[in-house]
A = this chain, B = another copy of it.
Amino acid sequence: MVSAPLAAVRSGAPAKERLRLWIRILRASRLIEAVLRERLKTRFDTTLPRFDVLSALDRAPEGMAMSDISRFLLVSNGNVTGIVERLVTDGLASRTKRDGDRRTSIIKLTPQGKDAFAAMAEAHERWIDELLGNLPEDEARALAGTLKTFESNWEGGA
């Protein structure tokens, strides 16, 4: 028996299959994002990036440094500066200096920010539920598991 060519030894789907999969992932997320963006705009007069930052802050009652936010959301440092700035202007977030290190800003939700986010999060969950509604439970679970593996493989990699 002749051994398989080197490329075939590689585990997993062939390259073309992976490429097609990537394009599907990309299109799916863009479609969903477009819907979310539009609804956040019309119903809450806000944007997806703002929602993302609020969402990050909401899970950190003790507050987050700017760099924590950018790392968590996978966006650049400078990006977060502008978004947080507008959230602070709108009274949804606050920035304070950390004791002992004047470089670090601690960003927190204000009570108003918490309330605003709670309303958005509730709607957001309903929207996602609607958009992914056709997905059978077992597929959802399998898909989530697969993607989780990716993430842990990539973290810190690149």
Whether B147 pairs with A28 at a CB distance below 8 angstroms is: yes
A153–B141 CA distance with the chains assembled, in angstroms: 20
Stretch with Cβ within 8 A of B (4 or more), from A16-24, A79-87, A92-100, A104-112: A16-24
Contact of A154 among B15, B31, B38 (CB under 8 A): B31
With an 8 A cutoff between CB atoms, is A144 at the interface? yes
- The number of times this chain is found in the oligomer is 2
A34–B75 CA distance with the chains assembled, in angstroms: 9
Min C-beta distance of A45 to chain B, whole Å: 19
A38–B154 CA distance with the chains assembled, in angstroms: 15
A interface residues, how many (CB within 8 angstroms): 53
Q: Give the secondary structure class of A's interface.
A: helix
A4-28, CB under 8 A of B: which get 1 and which 0?
0000001111111111111011111
Min C-beta distance of A74 to chain B, whole Å: 5
A: residues with CB less than 8 A from B are: 10-22, 24-35, 38, 74, 125-126, 128-129, 131-137, 139-144, 146-151, 153-154, 158
